Each structure stands twice: as structure tokens, then as C-alpha cells.
Amino acid sequence: MRFWKYVNEDKYIGSVGNGQGGTEITETEYNTILDAIRNRPTAPDGYGYRMREDLTWELYDLPVMEESI
């Protein structure tokens, strides 16, 4: 089985998977990334986290959503 990750130009991991896609990684790296995702800290209201390529989390402001009528 083939494992992969996609890292955007800003060095954040956008996705991981198996099969075709992204940059090939080992199964161990794939499982390490999934473990980090499962253990993501809870962000305060109005914020989210994005994962850097080094598997650390970066807090960021969520965009303001306008309510629909």
C-alpha cells in the first residue's frame, strides 16, 4: 500500500491518505501524522489549528462568517 501527504506552499499539511496522491511517505510517518491529528489541542472560540510540516500546531483566527437571512 502507498501512503502520501500533501504539504501546501506555506508548509502546512493539507491532507494525508493512502493510494494515489501527494508526496509518498512511509506507513510509520503516515501513522505519526494521524496520531498528531487525533491529539490536536482544542482551539479557543474564534480560532483553529493548522498542522505545520514538522507536526506542530499553529493557532490561527477563523474567518468571520456572516449569518444568512
Q: Which residue has the cell 504539504?
A: 7
Q: How many beta carbons lie within 10 A of that of residue 16, not counting itself? A: 20
- pLDDT of 34 reads 97
pLDDT digits (tens, 9 = 90+) for 22-35: 999 999 999 999 99
Q: How many beta carbons lie within 10 A of that of residue 41, not counting itself? A: 8
Q: How many beta carbons lie within 10 A of that of residue 37, not counting itself? A: 14
Tell me the mean pLDDT in the region 39-67: 94
Q: Is the pLDDT of residue 65 over 90?
A: no
Give percent of the chain with pLDDT exceeding 70. Answer: 99
Q: Is the pLDDT of residue 14 over 90?
A: yes
